[in-house]
Amino acid sequence: MIPYTYQRIKADSLLIIALLLFFSNIQQALSQNIDSSYIYLFPSNNQIRTGLRYSDVEIRFFSDSKEAFVFNSSNLGVSIGGRIGKIGLGITLPVSDLGTSEANASNIFDFNLQFYRPRYLFQLTGRQIFGFQTEEVFRNDIKLWDLTLYGFKVFNPRLSLRAAFKNNERQKINQGSWLAALSLNTQVLLSDSLSLPGATDDNFIIDRYQQFELGFGVGYAYTLVLPKNWYISPVLVVGPEIRYLRYRGFASDNSRERLRLSPRFRGRIAIGHNGDRFFFSVASFLLPGIATSKRLNTRVQDNLIRFRIGLRW
């Protein structure tokens, strides 16, 4: 079962990377020059930075009449990174697995590739979590793999989201813009056995849960420029999402669900100071999701808060 899972994830990864490269090439062809009346380009792109990163993942299986089954993984890490010219790199080192003892800490590996262009954002994230805390005990047999490709187009060339979330340029005048977004996500959950509350019948046991999501959305982003190079930049995207669910019962009872349509929203906000030499910001990313089927209802809550401080030279 596990070798098949890795093969499937590898295939999904190659597909998403290919799409990322394809859209990135399109973006380079369509990118426009930056309007210096609204966006300030720093003389040098060189910077060094550090900060903190808090991540919280909660998965909830629920029904209207039964008690929900909830498990989560929360962790805190220290990030360090830098940028020289057009090349930037950052890593996050784990500090604490919050809510569990050291012996019961989750085993987590993730990566985050971001391409903030003047009018486009492309983001590829992957995460592997071995071990989750339930409401009663720590379950080291629960394993989650998650892979997401997310991107949107900024229609107003006078708005810079790179200034808000990357701090490598500065917004000079208040601006807002409509956005068009696309997202692809696949999740695989494995365990020895999970007894879950069914949506319409008694609890049933599964050892594998998988879903694929394709989402479209429209949204709006705005940067409010405050005195002395302070700023606030909220972003909200809403739209429909197509989901395909598949899970396997403990007694080899395979079950597939038809494609289902559900609403989805994504939010992010950055607050910070973007000075000539020093910069710091606090950014929060909210990615809630809910999937319903004939037998199983699932809600996935993925929250990320990032603080960083840096120096330009």
- Residue spans of the domains in the chain: they are 2-312
pLDDT at position 2 is: 37
The Cα–Cα gap between 228 and 209 comes to: 50
Asked whether residue 142 carries a pLDDT value surpassing 50, the answer given is yes
3-state secondary structure (DSSP) of residue 268: strand
Mean of per-residue pLDDT scores for the chain: 80
Give mean pLDDT, residues 85-100: 74
The Cα–Cα gap between 225 and 307 comes to: 19
pLDDT at position 71 is: 75
Asked whether residue 88 carries a pLDDT value surpassing 60, the answer given is yes
Query: Which position has the higher pLDDT, 303 or 155?
Result: 155
Give mean pLDDT, residues 252-274: 80
pLDDT at position 139 is: 83
Give mean pLDDT, residues 180-207: 78
The top-scoring range by mean pLDDT among 25-29, 191-195, 241-245, 305-309 is: 305-309
| The two structure tokens encoding residue 143 | 């394993």
Tens digit of each residue's pLDDT (9 = 90 or more) over 31-57:
456 788 999 999 888 999 999 999 888
Query: Which position has the higher pLDDT, 8 or 176?
Result: 176
Exposure string of 56-69, with b = 16+ CB inside 10 Å and e = fewer, is: bbbbebbbeeeeeb
Are the C-beta atoms of residues 312 and 272 closer than 8 Å to each other? Answer: no
| Nearby residues of 257 by Cβ (< 8 Å), 6 or more positions away | 244, 245, 246, 293, 294
| The two structure tokens encoding residue 297 | 């209802």
The Cα–Cα gap between 40 and 276 comes to: 10
Asked whether residue 250 carries a pLDDT value surpassing 50, the answer given is yes
pLDDT band at 30 (very low <50, low <70, confident <90, very high): very low
| The two structure tokens encoding residue 152 | 């949107």
Query: Strand ranges (DSSP E) for 63-173?
Result: 69-84, 87-98, 107-116, 120-134, 138-154, 169-171
| The two structure tokens encoding residue 136 | 């009663």
Query: Which position has the higher pLDDT, 142 or 180?
Result: 180
Task: For residue 286, give the nearest of 271, 300, 268 by alpha carbon.
Answer: 268
CATH number of 2-312: 2.40.128
Tens digit of each residue's pLDDT (9 = 90 or more) over 50-69:
999 998 888 777 766 566 77
Are the C-beta atoms of residues 248 and 207 closer than 8 Å to each other? Answer: yes
Are the C-beta atoms of residues 23 and 122 closer than 8 Å to each other? Answer: yes
pLDDT band at 155 (very low <50, low <70, confident <90, very high): very high
pLDDT at position 280 is: 95
Task: For residue 273, give the nearest of 175, 164, 114 by alpha carbon.
Answer: 164
pLDDT at position 221 is: 96
The Cα–Cα gap between 121 and 112 comes to: 13
For residue 253, the 8-state DSSP code is: -
Give mean pLDDT, residues 205-212: 83
pLDDT band at 313 (very low <50, low <70, confident <90, very high): confident
Asked whether residue 296 carries a pLDDT value surpassing 50, the answer given is yes
Are the C-beta atoms of residues 11 and 147 closer than 8 Å to each other? Answer: no
pLDDT at position 1 is: 35
User: Which residues on neighbouring strands pair with residue 237, listed in sequence order?
Assistant: 219, 266
Tens digit of each residue's pLDDT (9 = 90 or more) over 98-136:
655 555 667 777 777 877 777 888 888 888 888 887 777
Are the C-beta atoms of residues 121 and 161 closer than 8 Å to each other? Answer: yes
The top-scoring range by mean pLDDT among 9-23, 131-145, 187-201 is: 131-145
pLDDT band at 4 (very low <50, low <70, confident <90, very high): very low
